[in-house]
Structure 1
Amino acid sequence: MNLILLFDEDFIAPDRVRLHDRRLTHMLEVHKPEVGEQLRVGLLNGAIGLGRVLSLSAHEAELQVELDREPPAPLPLTLILALPRPKMLKRTLQTVATMGVKELWLINSYRVDKSYWSSPLLSEQSIREHLLLGLEQAGDTHLPEVHLRKRFKPFVEDELPAICTGKRALLAHPYNASPCPAPADEPTVLAVGPEGGFIQYEVEKMLEAGLSPIHLGPRILRVETAVPVLLAKLFPLPT
């Protein structure tokens, strides 16, 4: 946890917060601050700054906070991802939040097992929890927006063309594709398939919606590896 995320309900005064939950546990076990020390803090969907420890016990911590800076800039990216298996979904949610993705669409595909859609990890609370972990790691505060689409064809035909309008629209696909383009700080749509990739029908529907296929070379990567590699190659490093 490189940033302690604060919520509106933590505030007991305009510049003072009280913490009782896992954030307190993390402070005690990892940061181990003394009274008077400062820690990095940020208000969810708001500014970041420093929190000075006023009091600390096994049951609660009280911090005086000053939020005076903007969080890191988001990636200008809409990420469309075939729903990963549950174990991979947890890591992927944290990774995309850490890397600055602010809009994520989880969609169905022929190779997505139907049971994945019944996973408790898709509950609003669980998704939020893993996104928060990613934000804390990155020192960010702005929570990504996640959309779930259980039907592939209606999404690709009715929603995807509008999502792609005016953007660099790319489909990560290892076959009959162009090399990954050079980094560019421009609005982008990126679609990434499931393990085994999108089937040919799905690829054709995405091409019809306006996406262009790209590849990362001859090696076939797992989704959890391909996503951060693609983001690192498609966007310039922040200054």
Structure 2
Amino acid sequence: MQGGIVRVQGDEFWHMTKVLRLSTNDRIELFNGKGGLVEGCIQRIDRTGLDFVALEDPKLVLPQSTYWHVFAAFGTLKGGRADWLVEKCTELGASSVTPLLTERSPSISENRLDRLQRVVLAATKQCQRLHELILNPPMKIDSILPQIAQSKLSLVAVAEASPLVSVLTSSKSDSGGLIIVGPEGDFTEKELHMMVEAGATTVGLGPLRLRVETATMALLATVILWSDSQQTSGS
């Protein structure tokens, strides 16, 4: 509430004072990743942290009206490619990202998951996103089948399938859904059959062979912009 004081320490304290070079009396906004936002200023700085004083009552910003959940088999990606995928999913507005475990991408290390969580936090701050992306624990194909069955729209990226834009044009759902991208080497026929049987729709992303992170971004960016255009035209 107005006049309340929040103590900021640790990594956020270091980032605010050493990277952003904020000082006493500078006005800032704090958010909690769940839509809570409060404006205030830095009251005091010492060696271990800073005191933030609220200048107004906190606001609660409602989440976006579309929810797209990303399932991508990126456990075996190297050279920062998984970091890039999760960072861009955060920036584009995905609601969640789940590492997908498949026959051709069967694992992801705990150390990598910890690193990806830090990537999510940094990207959330950079793009001023008030509702933090959820990074889920890894899941196998058979574990996501119930979610596919319950979703109004589940899109699986598959080479030579019907073009994504054509599928979206004929779709009646604009509130969100699942996007699913396989590993390098793609899904096995068995895995793809399981998802289609559960209700997923296969979609093509053009004539060229795309990497996991490229396919994920192409699919997510398209559905986010499509959802936005449908919401705008319907309002």
Matches within 5 A, 1:1-239: 15-65=4-54, 66=56, 67-70=58-61, 73=64, 75-84=66-75, 85=77, 87-112=80-105, 114=106, 116-122=107-113, 125-143=114-132, 144-149=134-139, 151-152=140-141, 154-155=142-143, 159-180=144-165, 181-182=168-169, 185-236=174-225, 237=228
Query: What CA distance in whole angstroms lies between the structure 2 residues aligned with 1:40 and 1:185?
Result: 32
Query: What CA distance in whole angstroms lies between the structure 2 residues aligned with 1:74 and 1:81?
Result: 23
Query: What CA distance in whole angstroms lies between the structure 2 residues aligned with 1:46 and 1:53?
Result: 21
Q: What residue number does 1:6 align with?
A: none
In structure 2, runs of 5+ residues without a counterpart are none
Identity across matched positions, percent: 22
Query: What CA distance in whole angstroms lies between the structure 2 residues aligned with 1:162 and 1:59?
Result: 45
In structure 1, runs of 5+ residues without a counterpart are 1-10
Relative distance call for 1:21 and 1:197 in structure 2 (3 A) is same
Query: What CA distance in whole angstroms lies between the structure 2 residues aligned with 1:14 and 1:45?
Result: 21
TM-score under structure 1 length normalisation: 0.76
Question: Quick one: which amino acid aligns to residue 186 of structure 1?
Answer: S
Q: Which runs of 4+ in 1 moved over 4 A?
A: none
Aligned length: 219
Shift of 1:171: 0.7
Relative distance call for 1:64 and 1:225 in structure 2 (3 A) is farther
What's the CA shift string for 1:70-109, capped at 9, x where partnerless?
A: 1652641122212332633323233223332223332211
Query: What CA distance in whole angstroms lies between the structure 2 residues aligned with 1:74 and 1:145?
Result: 19
Relative distance call for 1:20 and 1:47 in structure 2 (3 A) is same
RMSD: 2.9
Question: Quick one: which amino acid aligns to residue 84 of structure 2?
Answer: R
Query: What CA distance in whole angstroms lies between the structure 1 residues aligned with 2:164 and 2:46?
Result: 55
SS of 2:138's partner is strand
Relative distance call for 1:235 and 1:102 in structure 2 (3 A) is closer
Bigger Cα displacement from structure 2, 72-81 vs 19-28: 72-81
Work out whether residues 51 and 63 of structure 1, in 8 Å CA contact, stay in contact via their aligned partners in 2: yes
Query: What CA distance in whole angstroms lies between the structure 2 residues aligned with 1:14 and 1:70?
Result: 20
TM-score under structure 2 length normalisation: 0.78
What's the CA shift string for 1:107-140, capped at 9, x where partnerless?
A: 211221x4x4335213xx4443332223212222
Work out whether residues 77 and 187 of structure 1, in 8 Å CA contact, stay in contact via their aligned partners in 2: yes
Bigger Cα displacement from structure 2, 189-198 vs 30-39: 30-39
Work out whether residues 164 and 189 of structure 1, in 8 Å CA contact, stay in contact via their aligned partners in 2: no
Query: What CA distance in whole angstroms lies between the structure 1 residues aligned with 2:21 and 2:63?
Result: 26
Work out whether residues 25 and 43 of structure 2, in 8 Å CA contact, stay in contact via their aligned partners in 1: yes
